[in-house]
Structure 1
């Protein structure tokens, strides 16, 4: 269930990390081998993005000496992209590429899997720092951070927080780092990882060569986020939209009304149903379902083009929530989509949503009572909705 997280925090166990480290202190995670993140992202992936994607502010930025450099003029960027990038890097600027997981399939799949493990939103930014340069002054983040060192070496210094569990709303321009020495200082080498809790001040300096690393940000919800979710739910209930009593003529009327609402709120917030709904809300925050062209361009798919060996694959970025029964029908919740399926046995449903995918022949073997026509109708609908993908590596 937590394979991606477990691999990320090795040699620690998930139980140790969650119970003793998470939100409490930074931890250095030494590489089991230098090529640990090689399949996740590499120099050639960065070159592809820079050469063939029209990137600009705010997704692509430069920092130097703790300051953000001015945006590159559009015409200069268009006419001399490579020269501009090289000039700024050679002058000591750090290149930042935000939301890189939205531009790289393997990284998108890894990020979605980590988000499923954690149940909290995840994003990934990339940093390329020249030797002996510090791109950012000492600062803290308002989200949890994992550093994945892809290449080169970078020294990190981490300090105690000055405000426990800060949010973007509590951050002040006047905030200053502590005057005490760093409680952790060390060198990240290729394949190493580092966890930094939100609020913990830090900065880093690249060493002898260029440093390339990914910053994985985890935007963990807080009690305040739970209350915001609850308010959106309560807006649908008339008693919470009703006027509060006037302060006259009876002063105690307002207090009585607030006490009544407070009791009702406590009972509703802590009910099993409400808690389960919020858990499901966190678990199913997922990216949009993917496009698959040209299949989804057709008014209707032509299942006659499929063979018994055509391989159908669930979107690798998603995992469905399945509720219901064969008698009442199945409710499929996936990426803020709600799909109802009728007349499917549990075995047929498990085959359709098997993360490893399936073929028509495998579906027929697992669910022999499902007719071919009914199977094709269900599969066609799921392909049109983007839930199932036709795997191009397998014969059609």
Structure 2
């Protein structure tokens, strides 16, 4: 299971998107306290704090709903003892398992995600009641946390519409739940919420809470308008100055504006306009293609001989296009390559998720000479960072 399926299990993904996505918060019990243990835990947090240089504001504290000024590392423990919540932004950029999760969700939803970490002492509230301008999934890793979710007051807020400038709803929460390890909570953007780390004094349990928040930043019609503005600025007609407007006289400028309107309508009615935007959505905000040395420097690529295996990036979709002249264009992330000499259906096999070996390629395309065709082609794709040597197979061999 990948992405949403693994997060929501056993709740069905289609039902979630139909009934809850952008509509209402949903609490999903995990049934297994170790459900998210493969993603993160105390050991990973200790690794981040001990061996990564994470500076303010990427690492910060919040206490009683207020942000704490930049804190030196020798005072981090003191802040936690005083009841502050530790926050690390974009933790997925430092933990491979979380990077893979964000990439899977990006592939399944079409939108970029970000994972932040929150560690709260028991009985503490890190933030006041607020809403987010993106959808969030809360993954409880350790400890327990009580959540309270209220209706929206600003439908579908965007980043500039901050909750601190709004008045929270004066109604009871429509959802109250206690997250335990393995549980998940979904909160749509715009829905007010706050949380308090739980404790159980009767059992002398004052365990801190550790959770991850996966934020998903969906595109809106406003984002499309912003993209259109950037596209139109490439055309000098849209960069021309408007006619002068002496003393507010609009006689000269109104016909000019009507011409621009007609050009805009024509631009929008061109099917290629929407196609280009959809292509932009598909390949923008992707995780950068990984480095894989020494292979990308042309060294040790074929150390396993004919058993050498090659795999595409698991974090990036591949677009394969047949072009004129019996050529195939491969687009992955921000990179592209043109492959000649083999058919498009063979190229598609080169980028299948399971990978392939030199022996596989010899079976698929027996007419392709190994020395003059196969090795130069694979060397080029590897050194360009488009294909990767499957190092695990080399180790096993």
Note closer, same or farther for the CA distance 1:19–1:256 as it changes in structure 2 (3 Å cut): farther
Structure 2 partner of 1:116: 107
* CA displacement, residues 236-289 of structure 1 (integer Å, 9 cap, x when unaligned): 223322333344799444333322322332332243221121111111121111
- Aligned pairs for 1:78-157 (under 5 A) are 80=74, 84-157=75-148
Kindly report the root-mean-square deviation, in angstroms, between the aligned alpha carbons of the 2 structures: 2.2
8 Å Cα contact 1:159/1:182 also seen in 2: yes
**Contact in 2 for aligned 1:303/1:376 (Cα 8 Å):** no
Distance 1:50 1:364, change over 3 A: same
1:294 paired to 2:272: no
Find 2:188's aligned residue among 197, 218, 225: 197
Corresponding residue of 1:167: 158
Greater shift after overlay, 155-164 or 323-332?
Answer: 323-332
Mark the CA change 1:44 to 1:239 in structure 2 (over 3 Å): closer, same or farther: same
Q: Residue 381 in 1 paired to residue 372 in 2?
A: no
Q: Secondary structure at the match of 1:393?
A: helix
* Distance in 2 (alpha carbons) for counterparts of 1:345 and 1:306: 26
Residue aligning to 1:359: 357
Instruction: Choose the corresponding residue for 2:309, options 308, 311, 321.
Output: 311
- Matched position secondary structure for 2:314: coil
SS in 1 for 2:329: strand
Residues in 2 aligned to 1:147 and 1:69: alpha-carbon distance in whole angstroms: 23
Q: Is the contact made by 1:121 and 1:220 (CA closer than 8 Å) also made in structure 2?
A: yes
Structure 2 gap segments, 5+ residues each:
200-206
Distance 2:308 2:324 in 1: 26
The answer to whether the 8 A contact 2:302-2:308 is kept is no
Report the Cα distance in structure 1 between the residues aligned to 2:94 and 2:272, rounded to whole angstroms. 38
Give SS of 2:215's match.
strand
Matched, 1:337 2:335: yes
User: Cα offset for 1:362?
Assistant: 1.3
Shift of residue 65, structure 1, vs aligned partner? 0.9
Cα distance, 1:343 vs structure 2: 2.2
TM score, norm. by length of structure 2:
0.90
TM-score using structure 1 length: 0.90
CA drift of 1:214 comes to 0.5
Query: After alignment, is 232-241 or 242-251 more displaced?
Result: 242-251
Q: Give 5+ residue unaligned stretches, structure 1.
A: none
Structure 1 residue 306, shift from structure 2 partner: 4.6
Aligned residue number for residue 282 of structure 1: 281
Aligned to 2:202: none
Instruction: Report how many residues are paired.
Output: 385
The whole-number CA distance in structure 2 between the counterparts of 1:180 and 1:116 is 37
Q: Check whether the contact 2:327–2:344 (CA below 8 A) recurs between aligned residues.
A: no
3-state SS of 2:388 partner: strand
Matches within 5 A, 1:205-354: 205-208=196-199, 209-247=207-245, 251-285=250-284, 286-296=286-296, 298=297, 300-301=298-299, 303=301, 305-325=303-323, 327-354=325-352
Does the Cα contact within 8 Å between 2:112 and 2:216 map onto a contact in 1? yes
The CA distance in 2 between the partners of 1:246 and 1:63, in whole Å, is 52
Give the whole-Å Cα distance in 2 for the aligned partners of 1:304 and 1:206: 53
Alignment of 1:42-61 (within 5 A): 42-61=41-60
Query: Relative to structure 2, which stretch is displaced further, 376-385 or 213-222?
Result: 376-385
**Cα distance, 1:23 vs structure 2:** 1.5
Q: 1:117/1:345 Cα in 2 relative to 1: closer, same or farther (>3 Å)?
A: same
Instruction: Pick closer, same or farther for the CA change 1:322–1:93 going to 2, 3 Å.
Output: same
